Amino acid sequence: MLGSWNLNLTKSNFGTGPKLGGMQVQVSSDTPVLVKWSTTMTAANGMAFTYTFEAAADGKDHAAAGTSTTFAYTEDSGKVTETQKDTDGTVTVGTFAVSPSGKTGTWSYTITDPQGNVVHQTLVFDRVAATTKTASIQ
């Protein structure tokens, strides 16, 4: 997952959920000891948000700077699972897969709001730059 990724709006499927105007993700560490990334997300209305995350992939909820959403990561047999929890009670669970070529990454999300409504989304990212060095935990 290391590297820079841009959301491919044409290949992504937002289901009945909100459509994004764009997203760029920079992953600088993806080990069980340290998951570290920064994201700039643009809503469909053009408003941009930037947030960063740095914590272990230990399955526990960790805060991200720039958002009230918490993130938890686990890795099992090469499969990465991300769980997001919003302050309104919405829970998003996603799995990430990288294509054999390493050029495409796909997040498959299931979003459940507090009323139990479920939305499925598939976000497809194109790798725009690879990173070969993993950041170390401080």
Segment 29-54, tens digit of pLDDT: 988 899 999 999 999 999 999 999 99
- Higher-pLDDT residue of 138 and 69 is 69
**pLDDT digits over 74-120, tens only?**
988 778 899 999 999 999 999 999 999 999 999 999 999 999 999 99
Whole-number Cα distances in Å, 22 to 5, 49, 51, 124: 11, 11, 14, 11
Label residue 136 by pLDDT band (50, 70, 90): very low
Q: Where are the domains of the chain?
A: 3-129
CA end-to-end span of the chain: 20
Q: What is the mean pLDDT of the chain?
A: 92
Label residue 132 by pLDDT band (50, 70, 90): low
Q: Which residues contact 105 (CB under 8 A, 6 or more apart)?
A: 1, 5, 96, 97, 98, 99, 124, 125, 127
pLDDT at site 131: 67
CATH number, domain 3-129, options 2.40.30.10, 2.60.40.1260, 2.40.128.20, 3.20.20.210: 2.40.128.20
* 0.85 surpassed by pTM: yes
